Amino acid sequence: MALISLQEISLKFGGPLIFDRLNLQLEPGERVALLGRNGAGKTTLMKVIAGELSPDDGSVVPQKGIQVAHLPQEVPGKIEGNVYDIVLSGLGEQANLLSRYHQLTHRLHTEHTKELLRQLDSVQAELDRTASWDVNNQVEYVISRMKLDADSDFKTLSGGQKRRVLLARALVLKPEVLLLDEPTNHLDIDSIN
């Protein structure tokens, strides 16, 4: 069964059709490369597959429960926060609880109040209840593999480091479909490897 099936999709942006009744199936284990000139619609197709853009006609049918991650071609300008929180945000709803834990433990280094300890205890209990500790380990593992500093401010990073953070955010989800739009832009050789 296909991980994602694009069925008779059509799309245009005011001018001629970009896709005219396009059909595509992504099967498990497949690796697909999109080649074409600038402006041919490669990035647009990835956005359709990722669910970020809807076709005018036709349908995109993902397998139930499938995880899709998309590394965009350009680094979005509105991303703020530290590396840990940005990578963690790739996990969606699970991210909030772990982000809160991470913030509280860092505050504990400079503030040692009973209220802060109470908040940390409450967050730890919720992490235990929801079995979210593995998610924290997953985030830290990906950050380590990408050779990133979890506490670095995203805004201060180089273009290549920002791309590595965004790649880590995509990988932390352990997606069945990983869409990489010009993934080597701004990366050094070690990061590419």
Residue where the block lists tokens 């076709």:
55
Mean pLDDT value across residues 2-18? 92
**If pLDDT is split at 50, 70 and 90, which confidence band does 160 have?**
confident
**If pLDDT is split at 50, 70 and 90, which confidence band does 93 have?**
low
Half-sphere exposure of 193 (CA within 13 A, CB side): 4
| pTM summary value | 0.75
**If pLDDT is split at 50, 70 and 90, which confidence band does 192 have?**
low
Question: Hey, CA dihedral for 1, 94, 43, 147, is it positive or negative?
Answer: negative
Mean pLDDT value across residues 61-68? 91
**If pLDDT is split at 50, 70 and 90, which confidence band does 191 have?**
low
Q: What is the pLDDT of residue 100?
A: 85
**How much is the mean pLDDT over the chain?**
88
Mean pLDDT value across residues 167-182? 90
Q: What is the pLDDT of residue 112?
A: 82
For the chain, what percent of residues have pLDDT higher than 70?
Answer: 94
Among candidates 46, 48, 47, which has minimal Cα distance to 9?
A: 48
Residue where the block lists tokens 């991650």:
69
- What's the burial of 181, exposed, middle or buried (CB within 10 Å: 0-12/13-18/19+)? middle
Contact between 176 and 66 under an 8 Å Cβ cutoff? The reply is yes
136 pLDDT above the threshold of 90: no
